[in-house]
Structure 1
Amino acid sequence: MLEVTPTDVEWVETLGEVFCLTFVKGLDEAEALSRFGALPDTLRPRTLQQASDDYHSYEAGYPEFVFVLDLGTWTVLIEPDGFQGSLTEPLTALSRGTEAVSVERHEYADHAFCHAVDGTLVTAFEPTWPQDRWGSEPDRLLGKMRAAGLDPDADPEDRDPLSPPYIPALLLAGLITGVLPNPDALAGQVLSAEIEPWFNAAPPSGADGPADPEMAAALQAAPPRLLREVATREATRLATVLGLDTTPGLAEAIAAAGRGEPVRVSPGSELGAHVRSWLTRSRQAGGSLNDSSARSRMSDDERTAAHLRGWFANALKAALWPEPHAAARAALHPLTQGPPLLRDPAQETAILHILRGDQP
């Protein structure tokens, strides 16, 4: 068993107020990065400071980074200023065919510990409150939790309020994996890449479906053929509304998805380059609002256009997603819950008719 103490892992606090460490078993660095949505053309050694400078840079597009370390049987992905590994969908996608563990510190939201096996979230909890757990087997790790100092039966009043809960959570990760990064592992330049979640192995965002019960019921009852039809129809409509319908490779990709064919858009493809540019511009639109040095770099119209293209990119990933129900639910998200410019009551009615099989 790995023998470490809280003092041995306190170095992670140098990563800042927001970070995530995600351990994945049996995947080499390349496969782990690919599943995580790393952009291959950005893969190179960097220092933490270099990544931080770009993360806060309008010119760089406010990118998120992941650093990767080979720990033998396990590979660890380290996100300074990020938390993708703590989200259920990316973590479970990363764990397909293997096992993954993530520990997140987030001083402005919740800390997190998650353990996933073969595409299923097994145990998850906020380390501040280890008594509240969820997942398919919320009690699986009880013995290791107690050994790491996360006893769910302990009196909360006996806990040191100054002791950061992500430290014992990282110890718990070490007890599961048998490995932890060396305190000096991130000194100097380390292999890293920009990440773009659009290209990761997780389902599209918005796959929970529309809030409208009538539309939700129609999606649930519709056969795969109709689900693919409405997903690709909606992506095509949005592309036309936003003037993106002539984007090279776009119509072909949507048509192939509509036929039920597998479609993969790589970050280095021509269509992938356009997707990346839409998402970068959308990040700049949002990030510059909180960046006093860049707020004036975009006009209100430019910012609106950039946000709309971000919405479209997410709908496109949905339309290309192979699982029909998740594809349709997420692809309809802009139509049913998006900005006014993307809403269309007539189209929503037409979609309901298609899903019900009574298209006029």
Structure 2
Amino acid sequence: MINDTFAYYQDLLAGALEHISDALTWTVIQPITGTPTLAELMERMGLQETDLEPARPVDLTGELEEGMFVGRSGSSFIVFEPNGYQTSLAEVLLRLSAGARACSVSWGVTTPGDLLYAVHGRMVTSLAIYSSEWRFGAQPYALDEELTVLERVAAPEPGHPDLHTAAAMAVVEAATGVRLDLDWLAQPQTLVRREAKVPRLDLPTGGLSELDPDLDARLRLADPSVQALAVQRAVTEVLTQHELLNEPSVRAGLDLLASGQLAAYPPGLVGRDSLTYRLQGDYEARRFEVPGDQDPRRARWQAAQALVSAFGVYLYRYDVFQPLVSVYFAAGDQWPRVRRALKGLLG
């Protein structure tokens, strides 16, 4: 069934939406408690009724540079934004999901695509459509079944179409039961000026702030020396858990991490034929055999990746707690033990 849906969106993007398919956002809002009016939805998006313009069909020629189209599909609302992104902002989508569920897919010409799913004002699942195995939110795997179509899309090759956007649209339909069809696009829909947007808040997205917001906040309030010790402790914990301490590149990396000498990766940690490359290959070769959160090969790879990310903090200015994202996935059901150890460092 979802394969048919995937094919439908491939045809839609290559056909009717061809001229606007490079950058758009499609959001579905399904009220659970009550039925918000259009004016209430506008308010949640930081807009007013004075921002409305006469209803019109969606311009599929690419001539309309900016515009948000809002309309109904059964009991649901659809927001369609050619070359727009307002409903993909976390602070807007969370407001739209108050007393409702909201699912949004968005991509741009120079920005990677995202898929977000919020319910009752909480972000349930968020992911980049090109890296669907890395999911964040209150229930990262709530859309496991729907996301299978996106997980099976291979990286595009030169001369071949990129199928991630069509697959992500198929996920939205599978999750909500709402289809973006030509009849809806052809009917007059409310047109909204996009200039009056909600000011974008400095909200942390992804990373430890979504996986474990409490620990993230506690660590960010700590002294930098304690932060560095926490990362070192956590990385060592998962490398020990996955019996990687005897790997020469791991021993050398931990020595450098302890001494603060992170000017370059130790030999054998990254690059072709390295430990991390080999562990990633082991995982990807059989990645669809079991769910990612139950796959010991992924956890083992992420243990090595945690050490790699620790170097990235210094070499590429990663967020200081980026290694803890890999630690989280490497630890699996041992994460509560790891976080207790890190909290213990905070006094």
Scaled by the length of structure 1, the TM-score of the pair is 0.47
Q: Which has the higher contact order (CA 8 A, sep 6+)?
A: 1
